[in-house]
Amino acid sequence: MIRSSKKITFAGFVVALAALTICAGSASAQTTNVQPYADSNSNPEHESRIPTRISPWAPFKQFDTGYRSSLAFHPSSGLIVEAHAGNTSIHTSTGLYYHIGQFNASTQTITWGPSIRFKAVTEDQYGTYPSVAITKEGYVIIVYTNGGSKKQGRLRYYVGTVDPNGGTQQQIAFKVQDEYYDTGWNSSISVNQSGVIAEAHEGDGSTNLFYRLGHLRAPASGDFSIVWDTGTGGKKYDGGIAPVISLNDNGDVIEVHEVGIGDHKLHYTRGKLSGNTIHFSNEHPRFEDYAILPSIVLLNDGYVMEMHVRIVSGPFHDDYYDLTYRLGMLDRTSQSLIHWISQDVIARTIGRGGLAANADYAITTIGDGLLKSSWAIAP
């Protein structure tokens, strides 16, 4: 179905072009001439609206301070949930915080509510690497790492509710708080509209990667605990660090990770839900060298939105960091490949970019000490 309300207007073009222009010292946008794979379900008008020659992102605007931002975008109401570590520096933490935001399509603006701390730092607990997801009913799931080192990592989760139409001043009504579910580090979570929860994390003190599948036990009856359908432990699927995972309503799964500590290479893996298992492809293609801190969103129409921080060597051996956006599409002729369409530098930063999307719009954040947000038209 054509979403005619999303056609790019001249004003939208100007906003998008400004987003590329203001990136301080940014390199020229890098794009390819490759077009989306055309199959029987493709829509030429839909594909023609994808901007492959300019960055589609609006200018970033600061809304808070912090690090390691994560985002969830309600599938229909425009409500946003953002979670981050409230650090005074990247090596210290004052706890974990969230914001409730709202994207207004008519004014093309993001409004943020107050910063609310939901996890304090105590003598024996240290919260970092939050990852957040939201269901169509407004159930919010936040996972995070508790522990001061990878050998002491403990993974915990919160579950609460928000009103998808309740605005930015509401708070999450937590039903489950600080629940332990595994050992490990640097977890990522995603949920689709069927309520399937997919989670990925580093192993405890290792560079092995594990995934879990689950669902909320009986939220309509007041039981918001997670049932892990894959069993009591994670399922190993690859080696690497810093995994991020996304699944759509068709059972497609995309996972991206760094190869290892100090390697600065990104690989991706495609998978497919099958009962209580993800069947991951045996091929794990590399798609970027000299890059760290990926984020990923997989849409129902097969488009893939990805962010990472690219390490660039300056002329005097002075490295700098570009937040880079990639647009891709699941390759219809292969169960393992993504068809990459374009790549654009959208900001100069070392901060991890949170990324979330619904069928119409996408939201991203930077968390490099200053928290900033931007929006784009989803492909």
Q: Number of C-alpha atoms within 13 angstroms, CB side, residue 237?
A: 33
- Domain with 114 in it: what CATH number? 2.120.10.10
**How many degrees, rounded to 5, is the angle at CA 306 between CA 365 and CA 253?**
120
Are 209 and 257 spatial neighbours (Cβ–Cβ below 8 Å)? yes
How far is CA 171 from each of CA 115, 130, 196, 234, 365, rounded to the nearest angstrom?
Answer: 10, 17, 24, 31, 20
Could you tell me the residue range of the domain that residue 190 belongs to?
Answer: 4-377
pTM: predicted TM-score of the whole model, two decimal places: 0.85
Q: Which two tokens stand for residue 308?
A: 């990472």
- Residue bearing tokens 């629940």: 179
Q: How confident is the model over 108-149, as pLDDT tens digits?
A: 899 999 999 999 877 666 778 999 999 999 999 999 998 766
Compute, in degrees rounded to 10, the torsion defined by CA atoms 7, 12, 17, 19.
-110
pLDDT at 5 over 90: no
Q: Which region among 24-33, 71-80, 177-186, 325-334 has the lowest average model confidence (pLDDT)?
A: 24-33
Q: Which alpha helices (H) appear in the chain, and where do they start and end?
A: 10-21, 44-48
Residue 36: count other Cβ atoms within 10 Å of its Cβ.
22
Highest mean pLDDT among 256-265, 294-303, 314-323: 294-303
Domain count, the chain: 1
